[in-house]
Structure 1
Amino acid sequence: MIQIGVLLTHQYKLLSLAAMLEVFETVNKLYQQSGETIPYNIQILYASEFPPTDAAPFFGHAIQPMQTAELQNLILIPSFTTEDMSQTIAANRVFIPWLAEQYQAGAEIASFCTGAFLLGATGLLNGRVATTHVDACPAFAALFPAVQLRPDKTVTQDGRLYTSGGATSLFHLLLHLIQLHCGKSMAIRTAKIFAIDMDRDKQSYFSTFQPSRNHSDLLVATAQQKIESSYHDKGTIEEMIKDIPSSRRNIVRRFKQVTGITPIEYLQQTRMEAAKKMLEQTDLQMTEVIINSGYNDLKAFRKVFRKTVGMTPSEYRDKFNITK
């Protein structure tokens, strides 16, 4: 039997935790109905330094301090409710050495959505592939530059470490784990029960470009403003920032230091976000979308769009357009 420890972290997202429990409970029930031994034993684990206000069974599962728990086969880290990940990591720092010890003893560890920040803080992901909520990827990359972050991926596995992207990507990681432990037929059966599309392996098209404004660098703010006000022009990035009284090298250095990306990447993402909104909210012809996004070459536009978003412009319109 596989021993699962679900962490009751500070500021955990209840929906994330409930989904984990519901899916693994369902697999156990399917085995019971077939007269077979259930594959999972589930425990809820908390840090003894910060006991929950109610130590009663949590959704019917045993709840106990992680420090007194036996070695886990699989540890699940739920998503967090907060956006301040540095503060969240600090609040949950007691879990970090314990997670490292469990991993060294042979446990698998899976993080869901922003739960990857706690896993990243252990150092176990250094040099390894991981993902998280697509909109949290810039913050993750800044905190954990040694991790091979894959913002486009719905699920990653690197050895005994697993991560998932945002929100419903959680279900895809759960199915992945079930397939590893119980076989593909059980994963398919579970997917049908929860109406999960098993083929989705990318999350890029759910992203929203959210430029950083929380800084006091006037030069960078000026460059941002110029890019955002003239992205639809066909000019190059050099033409857009030519009036800023500083060398291009200095602008690029400070811009990347503040925003995490270069000015040309900022321009590209601004144009792609504008294109996505037009594809979502209007019935403009594709040629008009391209021109209004600052491009004049259909082939170049499609190439950049597919690389950035993970699908073609036409596929994106079919999926998200609200005017139909």
Structure 2
Amino acid sequence: MPEQPKIVADIGLVIYPDSQLAAVYGLTDLFRIASEISEAQAQSRPTAIRVSHWRRDPVDGVIGCVYDSHPGQPHKLSHLIAPPSLIMPEKMQSMSGFSGWLLDHHAGGATICSVCAGAFVLGEAGLLDGREVTTHWAFAEELARRFPTIRVDVDRIMIDDGDVITAGGILAWTDLGLSLVERFMGPSIMLDTARFLLADPPGRTQQPYRHFLPRRDHGDLAILRSQHWMHATSAKEVSVPELARRAELEERTFLRRFRKATGLRPTEYAQQIRISKAREALELSNRSVEQIAWQVGYSDPSAFRRLFQRVTGLTPNEYRQRFGVN
């Protein structure tokens, strides 16, 4: 009879209302593949990752196990993962029913993890207070607003704080899952698992995927007029006096209100508009970087390249290679 594998991690996946089941089952499959690779390569006792799914009963509120890859053994959960949500954070139901359960496991030594909007589940439990965390770049503002004691860094795909791990985008469950495989099974098993899944190993950033989402719901109609003008002209020529004139405000008042409304200075806002236009041109055209730089308002291609890399994390040519459709 073959020797039973040694369980090196006991990972629970939290199925909350409207959670993304693709991530739940994707992580389940990822850990299973890693365990099977470990078993195939083992020269002594193989290792495995135990995976379970946990759901809150809508009637009695009890959180119970609804799937277990290694049933029949008592659980000592080493990690709990809150997956992404299928809906926008502002529409998510209250997750307070999971808070006490997560806190109890955290107090018992479990590492609590989130992917994308799963950070809101951890935030509601108070597990993110005072921490630096990440989430999907489009949800960062709402996360920071709802939980003002945390520091949100959306340039990073994953932030490992020891007892709490947060991962960024919707598909960042692959980064989290592979990182845990590397931790418990070693880099060789992790890389073989990534190759089998045709997934990039951990270490990416969110920068290349982030797009400019300007604030327009701030209620300052004077600033909104200047924003509309900047977008209509692609921000090729930005003059604070002209923007203030269009907003019908004194320059100092305009600058103060613009920063308050948008979170950016006018020059920073203009840069974001220009870089967004440059991204689009790199994705959809074969024009040279020099032509695109000129088209979006930069006469110095070198300065454009430096700014583009600072904003996206990639050079213009690297961005085109990754995202170009031609």
The alignment of Structure 1 onto Structure 2 pairs a total of residues equal to 313
Q: Secondary structure at the match of 1:243?
A: helix
Residue equivalent to 2:16: 9
User: Is the aligned partner of 1:21 residue 2:31?
Assistant: no
User: Is the aligned partner of 1:39 residue 2:39?
Assistant: no
Q: Structure 1 residues 307, 322: CA separation in 2 closer, same or farther (over 3 Å shift)?
A: same
Q: 215, 226, 241: which one pairs with 1:223?
A: 226
Q: What TM-score do you get using the length of structure 1 for normalisation?
A: 0.85
**Cα distance, 1:40 vs structure 2:** 2.3
Q: Structure 1 residues 299, 199: CA separation in 2 closer, same or farther (over 3 Å shift)?
A: farther
**Cα distance, 1:106 vs structure 2:** 1.4
Q: Secondary structure at the match of 2:11?
A: strand
User: Within 2, Cα distance between the matches of 1:263 and 1:122?
Assistant: 38
- Percent of paired sites with the same residue: 26
**Contact 1:138–1:260 (Cα < 8 Å) also in 2:** no
Task: Give per-residue Cα distances to partners, 1:158-208, cap 9 Å, x unaligned.
Answer: 122112221332211111111111211211121121112226421211122
4+ runs deviating over 6 angstroms: 59-62
Q: What TM-score do you get using the length of structure 2 for normalisation?
A: 0.85
User: What is the one-letter code of the residue matched to 2:172?
Assistant: S
User: Within 1, Cα distance between the matches of 2:138 and 2:66?
Assistant: 34
User: What is the one-letter code of the residue matched to 1:308?
Assistant: V
Task: Give per-residue Cα distances to partners, 1:215-252, cap 9 Å, x unaligned.
Answer: 54312311211221234423344543433222344434
Alignment RMSD: 2.7
Q: 86, 109, 121: which one pairs with 1:118?
A: 121
Q: 201, 204, 217: which one pairs with 1:201?
A: 204
Residue equivalent to 1:78: 83
Task: Give per-residue Cα distances to partners, 1:249-287, cap 9 Å, x unaligned.
Answer: 443444444444443332221111011011111222222
Task: Give per-residue Cα distances to partners, 1:41-84, cap 9 Å, x unaligned.
Answer: 222112244579xx99548687xxxxxx955210011100011x
Q: Structure 1 residues 204, 57: CA separation in 2 closer, same or farther (over 3 Å shift)?
A: same
User: Is the aligned partner of 1:184 residue 2:191?
Assistant: no
Residue equivalent to 1:66: none
Unaligned stretches of 5+ residues in structure 2: 1-6
User: Within 1, Cα distance between the matches of 2:199 and 2:78?
Assistant: 25
User: Within 2, Cα distance between the matches of 1:194 and 1:255?
Assistant: 46
Q: 110, 114, 117: which one pairs with 1:107?
A: 110
Q: 142, 154, 174: which one pairs with 1:139?
A: 142
Unaligned stretches of 5+ residues in structure 1: 63-68
Q: Structure 1 residues 171, 271: CA separation in 2 closer, same or farther (over 3 Å shift)?
A: same
**Contact 2:235–2:273 (Cα < 8 Å) also in 1:** no
